[in-house]
Chain A
Amino acid sequence: MTENESTAGGTRPPMVEAEGTGETVGEAKWSALRELERRLPGLDRSTVELVVLSEGERGLLGVGFAPARVLARAHGAPPAPPLPSVSPPASARPGRQAETPEAVMLVELLERIRDALGIDATVDVREAEGTLTGTFRGLDLGLLIGKHGQTIDAIQQLANAALSRRAGERVDAIVDAAGYRERRRATLEGVADRAAARVKASGAAVELEPMSAAERKVVHLHLRDDPDVVTTSEGAEPSRFVVVRAAE
C-alpha cells in the first residue's frame, strides 16, 4: 500500500491517496476505498476519485497473474490527523516498561516465540491498571495470529501458564498482534448486536459460534446492558458457545 500526501494549493486540506489491489478492478476499487476510509474517517465517498492503475492479468494456471490496482484519492477535510503507522521505527516508540519480573519474563517468552517462528516483529510489553499486555508489531503477522486467532490465543495461554507459575498466583496477561484484539472485539460486538436483533425480531434463542472464554466475555459484557436479552455460555470447552435469548 502506498501512501502519498501532498498539499494542493495551500488552503485545501491535503490530498490523501490509498492504493488497493484485487483479482478484478472492482475488488481493487473496494480495497482502495476501504483503505482510504480507514485513513479518512467519515469520508464522503462522492468526493473520491478512483484511478485504475492496472487492470491486472488473469494469468494461466497461476502463471502471469498480476492483481488489478486502483488508486483512490480525496481531500481530507479536516486535514487528516497523523496516521497510525503499522510499525513505527523502534526509535519512535516509547521505551518498553518491562520492569517487573513478570514483564521481563513475558518479553523473553514472546521474543523466543517470534524468533523460533522466524517472524519480523518487535515485542513491546507494558503494564496498565494491573494488566500486563505484550504486543507484537510488524507488517506480516498472519502466521502469528493464525486462523481465527488460534495461534495468538495459544501464545497467550502459554504465557499466562508460565507467568502464573512464576508469580505463584493467577496472571491474566494479554498477548496481542498489531491491533488484532481490538479488531476482533469490534467483530464480536457486531456479531452480538446482530444476534440480539434476531432474538428481538423472532423471540427464538440464537446460538453463536464456539469461542474462547475471553471472547465469550466480550459478548456477555456487550449485551449486559440490553434489557431485552440475556446471555449464557453452554457446551463444553473447547467448543463452548454463547446463547442469546429474549429476557423473561
Chain B
Amino acid sequence: MEELVAYLARTLVDHPEQVRVERIERDDAVVLQLHVADVDVGKVIGRQGRLVRALRTVVRAGGARRGERILLEIVE
C-alpha cells in the first residue's frame, strides 16, 4: 500500500523526487505518513480536500482487504 500511495502522490506533485511514504505500526492501526515538498502539500490535498479524501478511500479499501485499519497522514 505504501508503494501505491507514493506512486499516486508522484502523479500529482511538482517534486516527485521528494515524495516518501513511511509506515508506522500502531496497536490499533497502520499509519502511512506521506511526505511531500512544502509546495506540493496543496496538490495532494486537492480542492476542498477532495484528493486526500480519495487517497484515504483507496487506502481504506486496501486495508480492508488485509484486515488492517490504515490511516493516511500528510507531512510536509
Contact = CB atoms under 8 A, between A and B. Distances in A.
Contact of B53 (A113, A154, A155, A165): A154
B57 interface: yes
A13 B48 CA distance: 57
Contacts, number: 63
B50 interface: yes
Contacts of A63: none
Contacts of A197: none
B55 A158 contact: yes
B31 interface: no
A162 B8 contact: yes
B17 interface: no
Contacts of B3: 112, 116
A157 B61 contact: no
A158 B62 contact: no
Interface residues of A, number: 24
B65 A117 contact: yes
A158 B54 contact: yes
B30 interface: no
A155 B51 CA distance: 10
Interface in A133-172: 143-144, 146, 150-151, 153-155, 157-158, 161-162, 165-166
B54 A116 contact: no
B61 A143 contact: yes
Given A117-B62, A237-B48, A151 B11 contact: no
Interface string B1-18: 101100110011000000
A118 interface: yes
Interface of B: 1, 3-4, 7-8, 11-12, 46, 48, 50-51, 53-55, 57-58, 61-62, 64-66
